[in-house]
Copies of this chain bind each other. A is one copy, B any other.
Amino acid sequence: MAVYTEVTDDELRAFLSDYDIGEVVAFKGIAEGVENSNYLLQTVRDPDDTPQNYILTLYEKRVRPEDLPYFLGLMDHLAENGISCPTPIHGRDGEALRELCGRPAAIISFLSGMWPRKIAPRHCTELGVAMAGMHAAGADFDGHRENTMSLASWQDLVAATKDRADEVTPGLSGLIVDELAYITSDWPADLPQGVIHADLFPDNVFFLGERLSGLIDFYFACNDALAYDLAVCMNAWCFEADASLNVTKARALLRGYAGVRGLSRAEYDALPALARGAALRFTLTRLYDWLNHDEDAFVRPKDPRQFLDRLRFHQQVDGPEAYGITYDDVSG
């Protein structure tokens, strides 16, 4: 929860003068998202109109400004191809990205829905279907962005955290060094590539009642192995509070996905390694944030041990059958 940048009413009005969305009638900081400052923005064209909702995002230091055209262009592309996601509002000059309070900023459409606090298998099915649809829709997106949170960054993160990792949990330093060595030598190559979300945690997936209503927060999206997105979601959606895998949820996620886009044999076989990599990625970024927590940020760092438990689970796994599915289940 965070609003890092305070926007004054005068600055906001000047900013909005580049858009054709009417006059502001409400503007409130939203306590969601830890990377950027997000505001609920309501405008009307006529005083008697029902207000129209938008999200105004100021991109803070963790987002590289040069990546923003990729992210915003992707949202436009996905929406044009039938994926429910927020879309950038373009100003009178056609631009979606401009500057506010010295930061890159954009107005994004407001997506209805709530993210599920308590995950049920039906959520995982819907998620799998929607993610496969997103992967299909992204196939002809012509932007390209390397995954900045992949293997090379894990090497940097291990180097930056291993000396103090044992402060969090005894033995953690040795574990991340060993795991990185394993992943570096065995990381699956030549899997089908495409646009992935790379951060589809429950708070980035909205539902209206039983149905998924949209995907948000594309600020880690990149080009990488499609099945890696599945591995991220398996870790984020299918484990219980006691660190046990809920096989029903994993099966629901994978079958939901495969019903739209079948997995190749190589993707199926790679799932345990991808899941280990995804678990290591979130262990490392959370560990780094935990050790380098800025007291002034007033954001509670997430506990790195949560994904460490998932990593240990995947280390014990004999093969993808442990996730409750056979290859026939997911070959499409």
Q: Which B residues are in CB contact (< 8 Å) with A116?
A: 9
CA distance A7 to B32 in the complex (A): 13
A113 to chain B, nearest CB (A): 7
Contact assessment for A114 and B31 in the assembled complex, using a CB-CB cutoff below 8 Å: no
A28 contact from B10, B32, B117, B296, Cβ within 8 A: B32
Interface status of A27 (Cβ within 8 A of chain B): yes
CB proximity to B under 8 Å, residues A28-53:
28-32, 40, 42, 50-51, 53
CB pair A3 B31 closer than 8 Å? yes
Q: Could you tell me if A118 and B31 are in contact, using CB atoms closer than 8 angstroms?
A: no
CB of A9 to closest CB in B, whole Å: 5
Choice from B29, B42, B53, B300 contacting A31 with Cβ under 8 Å: B29
**Shortest CB–CB separation between residue A257 and chain B, in angstroms?**
23
Q: Is B26 touching A1 in the complex (CB atoms < 8 A)?
A: no
Measured CB to CB, the nearest residue on chain B to A207 is: B9
Residue of B with least CB distance to A6:
B117
With contacts A1-B2, A50-B50, A117-B8 known, is A29 near B26, CB below 8 A? no
Whether the pair B110, A26 counts as a contact (CB closer than 8 A) is yes
Q: Please report the C-alpha to C-alpha distance between residue A299 and residue B116 in the assembled complex, in whole angstroms.
A: 26
Is A309 part of the binding interface, using a Cβ–Cβ cutoff of 8 Å?
no
Q: Does A25 count as interface, using CB distance less than 8 angstroms? A: yes
A112 CB–B CB distance under 8 Å: yes
Instruction: Confirm or deny: A208 has a beta carbon within 8 angstroms of a beta carbon on chain B.
Output: yes
Q: Please determine whether B42 and A117 come into contact, CB atoms closer than 8 angstroms.
A: no
Q: Most chain-B Cβ atoms within 10 A of its Cβ — which of A2, A30, A32, A300? A: A30
| Nearest neighbor of A47 in chain B, beta-carbon distance | B208
List chain B residues, Cβ under 8 A from A300. Answer: 296, 298
Q: When the two chains form their complex, are residues A23 and B113 in contact, meaning their CB atoms are under 8 A apart?
A: no
Interface presence of A24 (CB below 8 A): yes
Which residues of the other chain, B, contact A113 by a CB distance below 8 angstroms? 25-26
Q: Is A209 an interface residue (CB 8 A)?
A: yes
Residues of chain B with a CB closer than 8 A to A117's CB: 6-10
4 further A-B contacts with Cβ under 8 Å, apart from A1-B1, A25-B113, are A1-B3, A9-B207, A28-B30, A29-B31
Q: Would you give 13 A-B contacts (Cβ < 8 Å), ordered by A? A: A1-B3, A1-B31, A8-B117, A10-B118, A23-B209, A28-B32, A28-B40, A29-B32, A30-B30, A40-B40, A51-B112, A296-B300, A298-B300
